[in-house]
Amino acid sequence: MSKQTHAFQAEVAQLLHLVTHSLYSNKEIFLRELISNASDACDKLRFEALNNAALYEDAPELQVRLAYDKDAKTLTITDNGIGMSAQEAIDHLGTIAKSGTKDFMSRLSGDQKADAQLIGQFGVGFYSGFIVADKITVESRRAGLKPEEGVRWISGGTGDFEVETITRAERGTSVILHLREDALDYANAWKLKDIVGKYSDHISLPIRMEKEEWKDGELIDPNDENGGRKPGAMVKTGEWETINQASALWTRAKKDISDDQYQDFYKQISRDFENALSWSHNRVEGSTEYTQLLYIPSKAPMDLYNRDKKAGIKLYVKRVFIMDDAEALMPTYMRWVKGVVDSADLPLNVSRELLQESRDVKAIRDGNTRRVLSMLEDLAKHDKEPEAKDGVTDVLSEEDKAKLGQYTRFYAEFGAVLKEGLGEDFGNQARIAKLLRFASTHTARAEPVEAHPSTGSGRTEQLTSLADYKARMKEGQEAIYYITADTLAAAKNSPQLEVFKKKGIEVLLMTDRVDEWALSFLHEFDGTPLQSVAKGAVDLGKLQDEAEKKAEEEAAEAFKPVLAKLKEALKDKAEDVRVTSRLVDSPACLVVKDDGGMSLQLARMLKAAGQKAPEVKPVLEVNPEHSLVKKLDGSVHFHDLAHILFDQALLAEGGLPEDPAAYVKRVNALLA
Ligand code: ADP
Ligand code: MG
């Protein structure tokens, strides 16, 4: 194939522009990206060679080599991994296959630091080379192809690239960066060693650089011992030294790994720029043997709520990389966990399909799940300063001090997803329930927790646990009460809360989309039932005294004829009409008939999402003490008043009257 010119896919051109213009404050990551590609290429070769050892040709030792040439102003990263065919070079270096890229582009803020972080989350990979190079030459040959089937790819990082066929004896890839004037300092051994130590120490592959030695300059006058010399210089020795640890981090003993090393490794595998919140590293022995190193990130990714997002676990078998995103190793509600699992038992040729069925994998997933729950329990336990006991406060260890506020941070980012576990993981439901936090009528507003700049998650209200709620329950209170609504304001002002407010009973305010669905799986907490205040008739049990109950019954009795007329007037809208004691200030409210029913809010949400929702006919509950309700009896406007009561109750809980114009007409007629 002779020289061909190809245009970059439009997104690539856009991305390239962005990479070169917004990443210059964080230039050095290019090396991490290119070394990571080299390492991926070696992993791929190792994997393909499991079935075809000939691919190793005569170079079975996989490695990465760094070389620079100050005069030519180049830095070259060479690997002897899988390599690329000409078509692969065109495809992989000319297009962005990753689906998240468009989304990523749309989120750019123009703020350099924030954008650099975003790029980190998405990993611009190969194109980051253009941060330091104004031209990149890639020479490659795929393992198994003939030497004449090599490829050269050249681009200046603007609109297009060139490809041609070359002869290349050694398999694998060389990425030759033609350094920009302001990046010439990367052609320096110390600098390169420093960056490799920072980002790529734990790549399980040796990264090598040619040793240099100081050589004095020649004597100017060989006959005169003191005649001076030409200037000396570092010269290459032809001997290659390994400049990274080259051992997989997770295989080392915990005590030999520093926190910084754990964090660097996290950044390497997660592409996150921020530190992880917490991690856990264990060798698990027993019927299935494996090593797990699991991290809790400190920020949620953009696509957190996408349940199809794959788990961030890399699977290794006896240190051989098998696959990224091994979703079978984590339950879906823990899809945000990042880490590595290295199994001693799984076969090397394990496929995703096989993983789904393997008993070992199930054991690993269960072990991972339990481990993450313990990590969260530990963070939750140390979230706040311990309270003084008998006037004595414990002095916190440095380790515990570092955990203060961490659970709150975690929960603001990932709490809504953790709730999915109530419906997904019945075995751990009780543990998950203990980890949940909710806004409540009894907790004050606190300092806002910083919101995630891109997902907007983050909360401004103080949250309470179910255990703390239980501890505050009134004497005679038999249930944990909660309400679900679209917003915190709607929840707080809901008419359904009135009697609870009057009696000082705490109600949990739930505003996450997932709440109603998730809570439908949680029937009790630590022996106490959970009860939605918007479902079924209000039952305050022992919190209501005999006199109140009697008054209510009498009111219901006296109101019977009016109720019958209301029922008749509203028969198309309301399932039933009844008297309630849950209202204090409002004339009426809507509830769902029985405990198991779907709330009006959820039904609306499903409809809005274009999903099929059952027709929910609510029950209208009226407050016999309210003047508007008292007026009903004998009113000439009975029919209009009945409909206004119903429509207003709907409005109050965030719905819309079926026929808004008719509602306005009725109200106006009465006002006039
Ligand atoms: P990613 O590594 O996330 O796939 P990159 O932009 O870093 O994205 O790389 C794009 C693709 O180019 C890789 O998926 C791979 O197919 C190919 N590639 C890049 N570098 C190499 C290399 N050193 N050897 C073989 N293929 C490579
Ligand atoms: Mg990459």
pLDDT band at 509 (very low <50, low <70, confident <90, very high): very high
Q: In Å, what is the CA distance from 14 to each residue of 88, 96, 101?
A: 21, 11, 10
CA of 660 to the centre of ligand 2 (A): 55
Which of 381, 401, 420 represents a domain boundary (last residue)?
381
* Closest residue CA from atom 5 of ligand 1: 125
Give the end of a domain, one of 317, 349, 381.
Answer: 381
Closest CA to 107 of 123, 124, 119, 95: 119
The answer as to whether 341 is a domain residue is yes
| Token pair for 407 | 């659970």
Instruction: Tell me: do 253 and 225 sit in the same domain.
Output: no
Distance between first and last Cα of the chain:
86
Q: Tens of pLDDT along 604-648?
A: 777 776 777 777 788 899 998 898 888 888 888 899 999 999 999
Question: How many distinct structural domains can be found in the chain?
Answer: 3
How would residue 553 be classed by pLDDT, with cut points 50, 70 and 90?
Answer: confident
CB 242 within 8 Å of CB 207 = yes
Tokens, residue 468: 């703390």
Calpha distance 507→439 (Å, rounded): 9
Can you give the residue range of the structural domain that contains 332? 249-381
In terms of domains, do 61 and 115 share one? yes
Res. 86: pLDDT tops 80: yes
Distance (Å) from CA 40 to ligand 1 centroid: 8
494 part of a folded domain: no
Mean pLDDT across 403-431: 94
Which ligand is nearest the CA of 122, by number?
1
276 and 207 share one domain: no
Say yes or no: CB of residue 157 within 6 Å of ligand 1: no
Going from the Cα of 93 to the center of ligand 1, the distance in angstroms, rounded, reads 7
pLDDT at residue 227, rounded to an integer: 65
Instruction: Indicate the pLDDT class of residue 114, thresholds 50, 70 and 90.
Output: low
Pairwise pLDDT comparison (153 vs 403), residue with the higher score = 153
- Ligand 2 centre from 33 Cα, in Å? 6
Ligand 1: does its nearest atom lie under 6 Å from the Cβ of 265? Answer: no
* 92 Cα: distance to centroid of ligand 1 (angstroms): 7
Does residue 486 lie in a domain region? no
Which residue among 18, 33, 35, 40 is best mutated to probe the pocket of ligand 1, counting the most ligand atoms within 8 A of its Cβ? 40
Residues written for the chain = 672
232/336 same-domain check: no
Q: Do 94 and 202 lie in a common domain? A: yes
Strand order, beta sheet including 528-532: 464-465, 437-440, 507-510, 480-484, 528-532, 524-525
238/253 same-domain check: no
Q: What is the model's pLDDT at position 109?
A: 65
Residues 556 and 644 in one domain: yes
At residue 426, the 3 state secondary structure works out as: helix
- C-beta of 37 in contact with ligand 1 (< 6 A): yes
How far apart are alpha carbons 148 and 35 in whole angstroms?
26
Which comes out higher in pLDDT, residue 387 or 458?
Answer: 387
Cα(484) to centroid(ligand 2), Å: 43
CA dist 340 and 321 (Å) reads: 10
| CB of 45 shorter than 6 A to ligand 1 | no
Alpha helices, DSSP H only, in 382-405?
398-402
Q: Whose CA is nearest to atom 10 of ligand 1?
A: 92
Give residue 613's region: left, alpha or beta (phi > 0; psi -120 to 50). Answer: beta
Point out the ligand 1 atom lying closest to the alpha carbon of residue 88. 16
Q: Is 82 in the pocket of ligand 1 (CB under 6 A)?
A: yes
What separation in Å is there between the alpha carbon of 28 and the centre of ligand 2? Answer: 15
Give the pLDDT band of residue 452 (cuts 50, 70, 90).
very low
Q: Look at residue 471 and tell me if it is in a domain.
A: no
Nearest C-alpha to atom 4 of ligand 1 is from which residue? 125
We report the CATH number of the domain holding residue 174 as: 3.30.565.10
The verdict on residue 437 lying in a domain is no
Ligand 1 nearest atom to the CA of residue 81, by list position: 24
Please check whether residues 205 and 276 belong to one and the same domain: no
The answer to whether residues 277 and 142 belong to one domain is no
Residues 194 and 266 in one domain: no
For the stretch 483-504, pLDDT in tens is 988 888 888 888 888 889 988 9
Report yes or no on 449 lying in a domain: no
Domain boundary among 180, 211, 242: 242
Pick from 113-127, 293-307, 375-389, 651-665: least confident: 113-127
Residue 25 scores a pLDDT above 70: no
- How high is the pLDDT of residue 311? 72
Q: Is the pLDDT of residue 100 over 60?
A: no
Same domain, 174 and 106: yes
Q: Whose CA is nearest to atom 3 of ligand 1?
A: 125
284 domain-assigned = yes
Does residue 235 sit in the same domain as residue 284? no
Q: Is residue 364 one of the residues assigned to a domain?
A: yes
CATH code, 563 = 1.20.120.790
